[in-house]
Structure 1
Amino acid sequence: MTRNKFMTADDAVKLIRDGDTVALIGGGGGLMEATHTFRAVSRRFLETGAPRNLTVVHALGIGDKKQEGMNHFAHEGLVKRVIGGHWVWSPKMQEMARDEKIEAYVMPSGCVMQLYREIGGGRPGLFTHVGLGTFVDPRQHGGKMNASAKEDLVEVATIGGKELLWYKSFPINVTIIRGSFGDADGNISLDQEAANIDVYAAALAAHNSGGIVIAQVRTAVDTNSLPARSVRVPGAIVDAVVVDPDQRPSYDLPYDPTLSGERRGPIALSPPEALNVRSLIARRAHRELRDGTVINFGVGIGEGVAKLVADRNEVDRYYQTIEHGTYGGSLLVGLLFGFARSPSAMIDGPSQFDFYAGGGLDMAFLGFGELDAVGDVNVSKLGGLTVGPGGFMDIAQNAKRVVFCGTFDTKGSDVQISAGGIKVRKAGQVRKLVNSVEQITYSGREALKRGHSAVFVTERAVFELVEDGLVLTEVAPGIDIQNDVLDQMDFKPLIPKPPAWMDSSLFEE
């Protein structure tokens, strides 16, 4: 039998019906994003008004914070519900959630990826400890981010005397994935992609729900020409193959075999970052590293630690991981977070999150938006906007030690750094150390219950999590503890002994 699953993007998106639940894969900056097909969905809706009332599900943040990615779905009427792991890449969708124009839900990225696998396996859902004691726990918000979100997608379950969260299965009608090469049978290779993420799991979920899988690739190849080990999604579960010859690893980066792991290349050392508040925090956080540890770097200031590791040629001293499924290499930062040059291994995203959930991480470097007296952290909802944790919750809740990296306050803060330390010339208008966080993304109590530890590094003070709260352990030289630290917090930290001074060498240019 001769098959030909090739079709245009415009024809492929006609397979999406009103009311469908659509799973999207991709990461920020265009990583594994089927941009050409996303644009076709938006174009069809704007020209015809169809499809309507979609439920869109995505594990990672997808977009460029401007027009691409999830922004193509941010039209009133096109989407009625979004279940997303990370939202900041789509300001338009954030606004729709804030303005109650959609039902907005957040789930941890790892839980979304693993839930696809459970849906594909015909199981009732994902049972996991990830999310207990946080805003996705139904005893708090159940992952609901606005008043329009009313359905309970998560429940508490007790299995074998152990309390877990149950992320319920639901049918996936359409999944849109991306690969490098595809043939007329629908076999898809990821050989030239910068990650695997949740491609297979999301495709499986749609196919086994009786839905369809649309795969976008850069290059069409002859049937039977792809080596079997190169095929990551078999044609048996793919319904349409869309070719975009202009497809790139990211929105801007050209094809680079060191990004796809096809070959190794020299690590390009960048000039040392000028000493500023963010690089100072990264320097202090870097002191927490221990040789041989398995680590994760989160987006934000945590990336600065990864940059120090690369610039100091320390990559081989640790086992670096990121939630996209990548190990080792030189991590890219900013809009290209999720990419790595010359990685040592690439595995599927759900399996990477299995590793995290099972306690495989020794240490993680993550950011914080708000921090309170009991060590709870908020990164998921700030200033009323849905942010979402991405992989933060799966990582933070399970790493043996978390190094939280963040500025002491924000919005208008003016801190002068010199060889002698720092001087706070003006406090920020927004405090980050608050009595109670707006939303719990990381539970200090749950961390201690699991025997884990956490340290909070800012430019002017360092805190350690203990049973009774936060202990002030270090302050920066030049800081007035009362005026610059205690008076700028909403709670009083524990100070059982005079805090140490942060190492003065951190403040040298």
Structure 2
Amino acid sequence: MNPKEIIARRIAQEFSDGMVVNLGFGIPNHSADFIPESVNVVLQAENGALRFGGTPTAQTSDPDLGNSGGMPITLLPGASTFDMRTSFAIIRGGHVDMTVLGALEVSENGDIANWLIPGVLSPGMGGAMDLLVGANKVIASIQHTDKKGNSKVLKQCKLPLSASGVVDMIITNLAVFIVSKDGLVLTEVAPGVSVEEVLEKTEANVIVADNVKEMVLA
């Protein structure tokens, strides 16, 4: 299982019945392919869709239907589509229970940088800043290290912030962290990953929970 699938599968375990969940582009959108069969979650795309499911096949794909990353989606019974103004009224009105966004960096106190690397072409901030302050719970999804092995879970973010102190949970391909008032708490590790490996590859200060569990990736 590749790192992105590990993260996407673990994200899907946070879905529960009746939740309105916004998914950002990239790995978060991929989590729609792993919704547990027993869970009736209402997924929202910031570009104007409510109640969608997994990726369609080439035969069932509709070019007019896409998620926040422009990839095809499957609308479920009872789904609706609408304009961007309505979508952001939902977000800014506090009607999104949880948002899951990709990140470039996250910090131990819940800061997130996910929109700009100075000097590198950026697609822009999109709706991230609205979601980070409008959603009731924020999950940051991120590969634990960069290509050189440097931690992306930091004491302080080095890139321009999208929002400060808003992240509640961090899901990486190695671990799950809860951002608490006391600091960053390690609660889960991926299959085959030890607590020691997570600590070695994490720049941030980490509090190890008394009972660290193995991620469920069903």
Q: Report the TM range for the smaller structure's normalisation.
A: 0.7 to 0.9
Q: Structure 2 residue aligned with 1:478, among 179, 184, 192?
A: 192
Equivalent-residue separation in structure 1 for 2:92 and 2:75 (angstroms):
26
Q: Which amino acid aligns with 1:495?
A: V
- Say whether 1:377 aligns with 2:112: yes
Deviation (angstroms), 1:466: 1.0
- Whichever of the two has the greater Rg, that structure is 1
Equivalent-residue separation in structure 2 for 1:359 and 1:381 (angstroms):
26
Q: TM-score, normalised by structure 2?
A: 0.82
Contact preservation (8 Å) 2:24, 2:68: no
| 1:363-385 Cα distance to aligned partner (Å, 9 max, x none) | 12211110112111111122642
Deviation (angstroms), 1:340: 3.4
- Say whether 1:487 aligns with 2:200: yes
- Say whether 1:283 aligns with 2:4: no
SS in 2 for 1:442: coil
Deviation (angstroms), 1:292: 0.7
| 1:277-326 Cα distance to aligned partner (Å, 9 max, x none) | 111111111111110111111101101211223xx667x81222111111
Deviation (angstroms), 1:337: 2.4
| 1:47-69 Cα distance to aligned partner (Å, 9 max, x none) | xxxxxxxxxxxxxxxxxxxxxxx
Equivalent-residue separation in structure 2 for 1:285 and 1:336 (angstroms):
17
Equivalent-residue separation in structure 2 for 1:336 and 1:288 (angstroms):
21
Contact preservation (8 Å) 1:322, 1:338: no
Deviation (angstroms), 1:336: 5.7
Q: TM-score, normalised by structure 1?
A: 0.37
Equivalent-residue separation in structure 1 for 2:179 and 2:209 (angstroms):
13
Within 5 Å, which residues of 2 pair with 1:125-140? none
| 1:67-117 Cα distance to aligned partner (Å, 9 max, x none) | xxxxxxxxxxxxxxxxxxxxxxxxxxxxxxxxxxxxxxxxxxxxxxxxxxx
- Say whether 1:459 aligns with 2:173: yes
Change (3 A) 1:290 1:279: same
Identity rate, percent: 28
Q: Structure 1 residue aligned with 2:98, among 360, 363, 379?
A: 363
Contact preservation (8 Å) 1:331, 1:338: no
Match of 2:60 in 1: none
Change (3 A) 1:462 1:383: farther
Contact preservation (8 Å) 1:301, 1:405: yes
| 1:177-210 Cα distance to aligned partner (Å, 9 max, x none) | xxxxxxxxxxxxxxxxxxxxxxxxxxxxxxxxxx
Gapped regions of structure 2 (runs ≥ 5)? 56-65
Equivalent-residue separation in structure 2 for 1:488 and 1:496 (angstroms):
17
Contact preservation (8 Å) 2:34, 2:54: no
Structure having the higher helix fraction is: 1
Within 5 Å, which residues of 2 pair with 1:104-253? none
Equivalent-residue separation in structure 1 for 2:114 and 2:98 (angstroms):
18
Q: Structure 2 residue aligned with 1:443, among 132, 142, 164?
A: 164
- Say whether 1:400 aligns with 2:114: no
Q: Which amino acid aligns with 2:144?
A: F
SS in 1 for 2:143: coil
SS in 2 for 1:324: coil
- Work out which structure has the larger RCO, using CA pairs closer than 8 Å and 6 or more positions apart in sequence: 2
Change (3 A) 1:335 1:372: closer
Q: Structure 1 residue aligned with 2:32, among 306, 323, 326?
A: 306
- Say whether 1:410 aligns with 2:124: no
Change (3 A) 1:352 1:488: same
Change (3 A) 1:341 1:485: closer
Equivalent-residue separation in structure 2 for 1:384 and 1:490 (angstroms):
24
Contact preservation (8 Å) 1:409, 1:430: yes
Match of 2:48 in 1: 325
Gapped regions of structure 1 (runs ≥ 5)? 1-274, 412-427, 448-452
- Say whether 1:468 aligns with 2:175: no
Change (3 A) 1:308 1:439: same
Contact preservation (8 Å) 1:374, 1:468: no
Match of 2:81 in 1: 346
SS in 1 for 2:199: helix
Task: Give RMSD over aligned pairs.
Answer: 2.6
Equivalent-residue separation in structure 1 for 2:82 and 2:154 (angstroms):
39
Match of 1:500 in 2: 213
Q: Which amino acid aligns with 1:429?
A: G
Equivalent-residue separation in structure 2 for 1:298 and 1:404 (angstroms):
10
Contact preservation (8 Å) 1:380, 1:386: no
SS in 1 for 2:210: coil
